[in-house]
Amino acid sequence: MGLPTPGQALLTLVSLTTSFGCYLADWNDTHIYHPLWLPHAKFHNGQTMSMGLLLGFATLWYTFVPGALPASLAQSKEKKAIAEVRQGKQLERLRTAVLLGALYWVTQASAYFYPGVAAFDHVPGREHEVHDPLLQAKLEAAMFVMLGGAWWLEKRRILSQA
């Protein structure tokens, strides 16, 4: 296997951000060690971090691990039939990778619509810190742009192999 394609590189960037970004953002006194957070809120924060880790890894899996051809085609001498099935499998895996890569960010974007939420909480002793209220939305938008770009690049590459 050679270097990743540009689309695979974008999917990899999204998956690594999804897997590890939540730990970088939340494993501190603004979230998991926040002195005012109740244990149940921390429970759900842990759930969200674990979900991000697994969704990111699943995105990587579907991006790089090739799907197997059906046994009936594996021995076939019909190259066109094999190519069509292989292309269909690649497109299916691409759709799955992009969907898995987007799930965490779609659910994060939906969080704004729940009552009483804020993108940031003040930490006792650090009330003077100012946060960009749109930082989360900007990150989500960047992830969606990268996923859209990855989809477009990879779909074009897969279809050009026909």
**Contact 158/8 with Cβ under 8 angstroms?**
no
Domain boundaries, the chain: 6-160
Chain centroid to CA 87: how far? 23
CA–CA separation, 14 and 98 (whole Å):
9
Tens digit of each residue's pLDDT, the chain (162 residues):
689 999 999 999 999 999 999 999 999 999 999 999 999 999 999 999 999 999 999 999 999 998 776 666 656 678 788 888 889 999 999 999 999 999 999 999 999 999 999 888 888 888 888 889 899 999 999 999 999 999 999 999 999 986
pLDDT tens, residue by residue, 7-43 = 999 999 999 999 999 999 999 999 999 999 999 999 9
Alpha-helix residue ranges (DSSP H) falling in the chain: 6-26, 39-64, 71-74, 79-110, 135-160
Q: Output phi, psi for 22, to 5 deg.
A: -65, -35
Task: Tell whether pTM > 0.85.
Answer: yes
101: closest CA among 141, 136, 144? 144
For 111, phi then psi, to 5°, come to: -60, -25
Q: What is the model's pLDDT at position 1?
A: 65
